[in-house]
Amino acid sequence: MVQADPSGRSRRDCGCIWSRINLDFVRIFLLWFVIVFYTLFGAAVFSALERPSELEAHCKWNRQLAEFVQDHQVPLEDLRELLGHYEGAIAAGIQMEPRTPRWDFSGAFYFVATVVSTIGFGMAAPATLNGKIFLIFYGLIGCATTLLFYNLFLERMITLITFLTRRCRKQKQRTKLSKKHIVSHLNTQPENGDGLEEDWKPSVYYVTLILATVTLLVNCGASGLYSTMEDWSYPESMYFCFVAFSTMGFGDMVSGQKAHYEARWVYQIANSLMIILGVSCTYSLFSVTAIIIKQMLNWVLSKLFSLHCCRSQGCCSVAGLKVKEPADQQIQNTSNHPGICHVVKASHPCKCASTAVETVCQSLDTANSCPTFEHEIRDSEKLPKCDAEKEVFSAVGKNCHRHHHLQEDMRTVKLSNQQQQDININAKPIL
């Protein structure tokens, strides 16, 4: 029985706890645990990699300090006091190797750029209270504006990738046709071929791959620039690029800080452009990768759901998830909710009731089997938002005439959820 359940719970009551849980919350908690375990794993690896180096650095410094004290007969306490002063001086931009001023106009411009982009190298930071207070208000608007820029850039990138991949595909199809058919046949065929391919969209994997390639190329180009200008090794430059472009900005390595460069202005402009391009590309890559991660979470949830609940009771269609269901049940569902392609057990063919998932169904017909995980994701990616939303609306409207304002909540949650799925790529139905 399908039920109106508040707060985005699954619609079909199959008598198990999974059907009563708000899956949006389950998803965020699952993601939370993934992050915690990933962090623990990272901490273990970094601790193993860096701890010996830290201990060695400590030993080395203690030895250098002791040697200096012994050689020059300086009281250790006085020297420690001087070093304490030096820590403060470093925070104000003083280093033994001459550096550019932190707070002349060009220095302040670089600082501000790291603020609005949220890189925050920390090579400069406001020391005065007025500067600190101003930073809060300034950063609030600046960071939001730059976030919008990143999103617009991502949207432009996806539009471009869609346009280019579609053209390539058409070109390939034309070439294929020209090999198969005679010239007279070709004169009428290609236009129809174009028409058939209007709805084709690159998969999220394809977009991710292209974005990863573009980001890698930008990283490599920028690394070449920095290794030449900053006297860093190429791997060190790659590390700097990743840290800067991902907006971590540790500040252990910062470009453009030397007092003297050849062709200073040219380098500064190239540096700025590289950082803008790099950050925008990396943000785009993170955003599309986030979609894949979300699809993986959905897959895990659907597996858990089908494992614990659906084997014998035939419940299905949990918000945003695709789960197994018996074929008879499925046919009934697809007729009720057009546009939803249900994944069934290997013995049953996949049924689709809408042209919206035509390409996926075609690929399934061709393969003569049910979709793999990759197919599931691609199917989900290609499902137009409007149809998916309608499905949610109709399901709620048809089955839940009681609990009127709770229905609305459910609808809200489902909508948000569906939108969230789209948001990370900014143009999901394209994919």
- For a copy of itself, the binding residues in 263-322 under the rule CB under 8 A are 285-287, 289-290, 293-294
In Å, how far are 214, 221, 225, 260 from 267, measured between CA atoms?
22, 13, 9, 11
Candidates 15, 84, 224, 349: give the one binding a copy of itself (CB under 8 A): 84
Closest contact distance (angstroms) between CB of 205 and a copy of itself is 14
Candidates 9, 11, 12, 102: give the one binding a copy of itself (CB under 8 A): 102
Q: Which stretch binds a copy of itself (CB under 8 A): 81-89, 300-308, 318-326, 375-383?
A: 81-89
175 binds a copy of itself (CB under 8 A): no
328 binds a copy of itself (CB under 8 A): no
Euclidean distance between CA atoms 156 and 135, whole angstroms: 30
CA dihedral in degrees (411, 13, 381, 242; nearest 10)? 90
204 binds a copy of itself (CB under 8 A): no
Candidates 76, 98, 109, 224: give the one binding a copy of itself (CB under 8 A): 109
Q: Are 333 and 344 in contact (CB under 8 A)?
A: no
Candidates 66, 76, 92, 273: give the one binding a copy of itself (CB under 8 A): 92
Closest contact distance (angstroms) between CB of 227 and a copy of itself is 14
Euclidean distance between CA atoms 280 and 17, whole angstroms: 43
Q: Which stretch binds a copy of itself (CB under 8 A): 138-146, 298-306, 324-332, 351-359?
A: 138-146
Candidates 14, 316, 370, 430: give the one binding a copy of itself (CB under 8 A): 430
Closest contact distance (angstroms) between CB of 327 and a copy of itself is 30
Pattern 19-58, a copy of itself, x by CB under 8 A: -----xx-xx--xx-xx--xxx-xxxxxx-xxx-xx--xx
| 279 token code pair | 């950050």
Closest contact distance (angstroms) between CB of 423 and a copy of itself is 4
Closest contact distance (angstroms) between CB of 369 and a copy of itself is 30
Query: Which residue lies nearer to a copy of itself by CB, 65 or 209?
Result: 65
Query: Which residue lies nearer to a copy of itself by CB, 73 or 366?
Result: 73
113 binds a copy of itself (CB under 8 A): yes
- For a copy of itself, the binding residues in 384-403 under the rule CB under 8 A are 385-386, 389-390
Query: Which residue lies nearer to a copy of itself by CB, 14 or 244?
Result: 244
Candidates 15, 66, 76, 194: give the one binding a copy of itself (CB under 8 A): 194
Query: Which residue lies nearer to a copy of itself by CB, 105 or 265?
Result: 105
Query: Which residue lies nearer to a copy of itself by CB, 14 or 357?
Result: 357
Closest contact distance (angstroms) between CB of 310 and a copy of itself is 24
72 binds a copy of itself (CB under 8 A): yes
- For a copy of itself, the binding residues in 228-267 under the rule CB under 8 A are 235-236, 238-239, 242-243, 246-252
Q: Are 413 and 7 in contact (CB under 8 A)?
A: yes
H/E/C letters for each residue in the chain? CECCCHHHECCECCCCHHHHCEHHHHHHHHHHHHHHHHHHHHHHHHHHHHHHHHHHHHHHHHHHHHHHHHHHCCCHHHHHHHHHHHHHHHHCCCCCCCECCCCCHHHHHHHHHHHHCCCCCCCCCCCCHHHHHHHHHHHHHHHHHHHHHHHHHHHHHHHHHHHHHHHHHHHHHHHHHHHHCCHHHHCCHHHHHHHHCCCCCCCHHHHHHHHHHHHHHHHHHHHHHHHHHCCCCHHHHHHHHHHHHCCCCCCCCCCCCECCCCCHHHHHHHHHHHHHHHHHHHHHHHHHHHHHHHHHHHHHHHHHHHHHHHHHHCCCCCCCCCCCCCHHHHHHHHHHCCCCCECCCCCCCCECCCHHHHHHHHHHHHHCCCCCHHHHHHHHHHCCHHHHHHHHHHHHHHHCCCCHHHHHHHHHHHHHHHHHHHHCCCCHHHC
| 300 token code pair | 């895990």
Query: Which residue lies nearer to a copy of itself by CB, 126 or 314?
Result: 126
Closest contact distance (angstroms) between CB of 368 and a copy of itself is 30
Closest contact distance (angstroms) between CB of 250 and a copy of itself is 4
Query: Which residue lies nearer to a copy of itself by CB, 131 or 349?
Result: 131
Q: Which amino acid is at 422?
A: D
Candidates 15, 20, 66, 90: give the one binding a copy of itself (CB under 8 A): 90
